[in-house]
Structure 1
Amino acid sequence: ERGAEAVRVGAQDYLFRDELDARLLGRAVRYAVERKRADIAQRKLTESRIRAQENARLERGLLPTPLLDGSPLRFAARYRPGRSRALLGGDFYDTVRTPDGTVHAMIGDVCGHGPDEAALGVELRIAWRALTFAGLCGDELLSTLQQVLEHERADEEIFATLCTVDISPDGRRAGLCLAGHPSPLIASPGRPATLLPYENSGPALGLLPKARWPRMQVELGASWSLMLYTDGLIEGRIGQGNQRLGQEGMVELIRRRRADGLGGEELLEAAMNEVRDLNGGDLTDDVAVLLLDR
Structure 2
Amino acid sequence: MADEFVEKMELEGKAPATLKKSRWLIDVLHPTIGSRPIADITAHELLKALKRLERKGHHESAIRARTFAGRIFRYAVATLRAQHNPADILRGALITPKVKHHAALLEPAQVGELLRAIDAYGGKIETRIALQLLPHVYLRPGELRRAEWAEIDFEAAVWRVPAERTKMRKVHSVPLSTQALALLKQLRSLENSGSFLFPANKTFLKPICENTLNVALRRLGYTNDQMTSHGFRATASTLLNECGLWHPDAIERSLAHRERDLVRGAYHRGAHWDERVRMAQWWSDYLVKLRDGAEVLRPKFGT
- Which is strand-richer, 1 or 2? 1
Sort the TM-score into its range (normalised by shorter chain).
under 0.3
TM normalised by structure 2 equals: 0.23
- Which is helix-richer, 1 or 2? 2
Q: Which has the larger radius of gyration?
A: 1
TM normalised by structure 1 equals: 0.23
